[in-house]
Structure 1
Amino acid sequence: MSSPEQSPASSRNPIRMLSWRVVIASFLAACGLTALTTWALVTATEAKTADQAKIATVKINAIRTGLSVGAGIGGAMALLLAARKQWLGERSQAHQEDVANSDIMDASERRITDLYGKAVDQLGSDKAAVRIGGIFALERLAQANPGHRQTIIDVICAYLRMPFNIPSELDLGSITAYTIQSTTDQEGQQEIQVRLTAQDLLRRRLSKKSTNLDDHWRDLRIDLTGATLITFNLTDCEFREGVFSNAHFVGTTRFNSSTSTGISTFRGARFSGFVDFTSFDFAGQVRFDDSIYAKSCSFEEANFDQARFDKATFMDQAIFKRSNFHNRAIFDDATFSEVIFTEADFIADVQFLRVTFSEDARFGQSRFRSAATFTNCRFDKDARFGGSRFEGRVRLREVTFSGLASFGECIFIEGLYMRGTTFDDVAKFGNSKMMGGASLRDVSFKKSASFTGTSSSRSITFYGVRFDGAVSFYKTEEQPIEFKNSSIQNRDQMLHPPKYWLVASQENLLGRYDIVRWNPPMILP
Structure 2
Amino acid sequence: MIGGMSSWLVPVAVVLVVVWVGVRHVRMVRAEALLAEHARRRVGPEAVAPSPVSVWREANRLFRAGDAEGLLLLAEIGRQVPRRRQDVVDTWLAALRGGVARGLDASWRRDVQRELVGHLRPGEDFWPGMDVVAPGAILVDFDLSGCRVGRVDLTGAVFVGDARFAATTVTGDASFAAARFLRHAVFTDVLFARSATFALAVFAGNVSLRSAQVARSLVVTRAKVSGRADFSGAEVTGSADFRHVRFGGRALFADVVFQQDARFGHAWFRGRTDVGAALIGEEAEFDHARFGRRVPAAEG
TM-score range, shorter chain: 0.7 to 0.9
**2:254 is the counterpart of 1:342:** yes
CA distance in 2, matches of 1:264, 1:344: 20
User: What does residue 356 of structure 1 align with?
Assistant: 268
Map 1:171-320 to 2 at 5 A.
Answer: 191-208=105-122, 210=123, 212=124, 215-304=125-214, 305-320=216-231
CA contact (8 A) 2:276 2:295 kept: no
User: What does residue 124 of structure 1 align with?
Assistant: 64
CA distance in 1, matches of 2:236, 2:53: 45
**2:92 is the counterpart of 1:156:** yes
CA distance in 2, matches of 1:315, 1:206: 30
Map 1:43-58 to 2 at 5 A.
Answer: none
Q: Secondary structure at the match of 2:286?
A: strand
Percent identical among aligned pairs is: 24
CA distance in 1, matches of 2:78, 2:219: 35
Matched to 1:114, the amino acid is: S
Unaligned runs of 5+ in 1: 1-108, 166-186, 388-408, 410-525
CA distance in 1, matches of 2:276, 2:220: 21
Normalised to the residue count of structure 2, the TM-score between the two structures is 0.80
- Which of 277, 293, 298 is matched with 1:381 structurally? 293
CA distance in 2, matches of 1:250, 1:349: 34
CA contact (8 A) 1:336 1:357 kept: yes
Unaligned runs of 5+ in 2: 1-48
Map 1:18-97 to 2 at 5 A.
Answer: none
What is the CA-CA distance between 1:162 and the residue it aligns to? 4.1
User: What does residue 22 of structure 2 align with?
Assistant: none
Q: Secondary structure at the match of 1:229?
A: strand
CA distance in 1, matches of 2:145, 2:189: 10
CA contact (8 A) 1:289 1:311 kept: yes
CA distance in 1, matches of 2:50, 2:260: 53
Map 1:315-334 to 2 at 5 A.
Answer: 315-334=226-245
How many positions carry a matched residue from both structures? 251
Q: Greater share of strand residues, 1 or 2?
A: 1
What is the CA-CA distance between 1:112 and the residue it aligns to? 1.9
CA distance in 1, matches of 2:280, 2:254: 12
Matched to 2:167, the amino acid is: S
RMSD: 1.8
Map 1:135-150 to 2 at 5 A.
Answer: 135-150=71-86
CA distance in 2, matches of 1:116, 1:235: 30
Matched to 1:242, the amino acid is: V
Structure with higher Rg: it is: 1
Q: Secondary structure at the match of 1:249?
A: strand
Larger RCO, structures 1/2 (Cα 8 Å, 6+ apart): 2
